[in-house]
Amino acid sequence: MTPSLHVPRPEDATRIAALLTPDPLAGALAGLFLAAPRRTGKTTFLRSDLIPHLEGRGFAVVYADLWSDRAADPAELIIARIKAALERHDGLISRLRRKSPVNRVGALGFSVSLKESGDWSGTIADALEDLIEATGKDLVVIIDEAQQAVETDAGLNAMFALKAARDAINQAPGDRHLYLLMTGSHRDKLSTLVQNRQAPFFGAGVRPFPPLGAAYVSAMAARVNDALAETAQLAPADLEAAFDTVGRRPELLTDCLRDLIFAPEGAGPAALRRIAAERKAQAEIDTLSEIAAMTPLQQGILRLMAQKGPGFQPFAEETREALKAAHRGQKPAVATIQTALNALRERGFVWRREHGRYILDNADIALALARSDTG
Ligand SMILES: Nc1ncnc2c1ncn2[C@@H]1O[C@H](COP(=O)(O)OP(=O)(O)OP(=O)(O)O)[C@@H](O)[C@H]1O
Ligand SMILES: [Mg+2]
């Protein structure tokens, strides 16, 4: 089995592309926000399936992955991709008569020197408008791991700029449109972009990103059966169950299938069930042992966060009271809680959604804690 096996997802691409229409009922003109857990195939789908499909259907596409460089400001990553699109369409842009040749490089502006068009400068909205006009196509801006944008002021401003561009372009006369598609690995994280009145996309909803489905499972079944004895063949349903057990993560399923070949009881459906269950349990054990090595207060905070979800109020009286048991019987000071939260953030267990609001980084942490409490 080569790790590079890619199972194409034409149906999922078609379904998502169908949402990119100005039709107010069927379409997502306001923006599409799709969330799915880590390592479930989001980026691969965007790059290998959706973008080629959209380009084939006559859309222009700008794609930015805000995790592609963790050291860079999210705004810089977005602008870099927009610049690259301007460069790609330089020839067409050189034929435009730009409405605003004046230098408007303010806080949200940038410039780029294009070979044919000369020096280009303007805002994010100017650039997107020029791209649409030059290509004569509807434009889809895809931001992968969009929640990262809220980590910096510039990133948040870039999101507001995208929203402003969307409104300006979609409300202008003419029939060219700008669509925004944002993905994230945590529903609660992505919802920071849509949830409150100060959020750039207030009012939009977060939907589940389509997980890998039956086509992927049957392709994997066909592949693994080639390597298995006649008597050990697997049905797609066996693989489907195992895939679900490991959270629909291709890498974990591939791990299980590799182990299957060496199963002491012989490869087959029962062995696969055992291996997948063990793989899942192992992931939980790893998480819990990392937690067990933390300070009692940090552990107490994680457990409380798992119970409270997004309603967790780190510095409330009630929280300090609840954390007594984890802090030598004394209510921890606000500064002490803050220090513990910072440490948890650094270790990737906690995510700060906005000032004073924290959530667990991913759902697996809450699940592992809940199971360890009952089990
Ligand atoms: N259609 C597919 N066919 C086969 N393997 C796939 C497919 N989609 C994803 N994978 C595999 O799943 C793994 C995770 O994929 P990917 O990086 O796209 O997920 P992600 O959800 O973007 O992850 P992250 O949360 O790290 O951003 C990769 O090893 C990738 O090769
Ligand atoms: Mg990704």
* CATH classification of the domain holding 56: 3.40.50.300
pLDDT of the residue at 102:
54
Q: What is the pLDDT of residues 178-237, one digit of tens each?
A: 999 999 988 888 888 988 788 899 888 899 999 999 999 999 999 999 988 899 999 999
Among 262, 289, 316, identify where a domain stops: 289
Structure tokens at 139: 């434009």
pLDDT of the residue at 199:
87
Query: Best substitution site from 5, 11, 39 to test ligand 1's pocket, by max atoms within 8 Å of Cβ?
Result: 39
pLDDT of the residue at 135:
96
Residue given tokens 């605003």 in the structure block: 100
Q: What percent of the chain has pLDDT over 90?
A: 70
Enclosing domain of residue 336: 294-374
CA of 23 to the centre of ligand 2 (A): 29
Number of domains in the chain: 3
CA of 45 to the centre of ligand 2 (A): 9
Query: Best substitution site from 4, 9, 42, 44 to test ligand 1's pocket, by max atoms within 8 Å of Cβ?
Result: 44
Establish whether residue 7 lines the binding site of ligand 1, counting it when its CB lies within 6 angstroms of any ligand atom: yes
pLDDT of the residue at 361:
87
pTM: 0.89
Asked whether residue 64 falls in the same domain as residue 204, the answer is yes
CA nearest 369: which of 346, 342, 345, 350?
350
Does 2 map to a domain?
no
Does 4 map to a domain?
no
Which residues, including other chains, have CB under 8 Å from residue 281's CB and lie 6 or more apart? none
CA of 164 to the centre of ligand 2 (A): 26
Structure tokens at 220: 């994997």
For the CA of 253, the nearest ligand: 1
Establish whether residue 155 lines the binding site of ligand 1, counting it when its CB lies within 6 angstroms of any ligand atom: no
- Of ligand 1's atoms, which has the minimum distance to the CA of residue 4? 31
CA of 10 to the centre of ligand 2 (A): 19
Contact 337, 312 (CB under 8 A): no
Which residues, including other chains, have CB under 8 Å from residue 83's CB and lie 6 or more apart? 110, 112, 127
| Across 2-6, 219-223, 256-260, least confident range | 2-6
Residue given tokens 């996309």 in the structure block: 201
Establish whether residue 251 lines the binding site of ligand 1, counting it when its CB lies within 6 angstroms of any ligand atom: yes
Asked whether residue 29 falls in the same domain as residue 47, the answer is yes
Interior/surface letters 285-319, b for 16+ CB within 10 angstroms, e for the rest: eebeeebeebeebbbbbbbbbbebeeebebeeeeb
> Phi/psi at 105 (nearest 5 deg)?
-80, 85
Measured distance CA(16)–CA(210) in Å, rounded:
9
- Of ligand 1's atoms, which has the minimum distance to the CA of residue 212? 1
SS3 179: strand
For the CA of 11, the nearest ligand: 1
Asked whether residue 46 falls in the same domain as residue 93, the answer is yes
> Long-range contact list for 315-321, CB < 8 A, 24+ apart?
315/356
Contact 96, 133 (CB under 8 A): yes
Does 3 map to a domain?
no
Among 143, 178, 208, identify where a domain stops: 208
Measured distance CA(277)–CA(256) in Å, rounded:
10
Instruction: List the alpha helices (DSSP H) in the chain.
Output: 10-18, 42-44, 51-56, 74-88, 90-93, 124-135, 153-171, 187-190, 214-227, 236-245, 250-261, 269-292, 296-308, 317-322, 334-346, 363-374
Asked whether residue 202 falls in the same domain as residue 261, the answer is no
Contact 233, 73 (CB under 8 A): no
Q: Give the CA angle between residues 326, 368, 240 to the nearest 5°.
A: 175
pLDDT of the residue at 4:
59
Residue given tokens 């995510």 in the structure block: 351
Q: What is the pLDDT of residues 115-164, one digit of tens each?
A: 998 999 999 999 999 999 999 999 999 999 999 998 889 999 999 999 99
Atom 26 of ligand 1, residue of closest alpha carbon? 39
Does 196 map to a domain?
yes
Atom 16 of ligand 1, residue of closest alpha carbon? 41
Among 289, 317, 342, identify where a domain stops: 289
Establish whether residue 40 lines the binding site of ligand 1, counting it when its CB lies within 6 angstroms of any ligand atom: yes
Residue 1 has pLDDT above 60, yes or no: no
Establish whether residue 11 lines the binding site of ligand 1, counting it when its CB lies within 6 angstroms of any ligand atom: no
CA of 250 to the centre of ligand 1 (A): 7
Asked whether residue 118 falls in the same domain as residue 173, the answer is yes
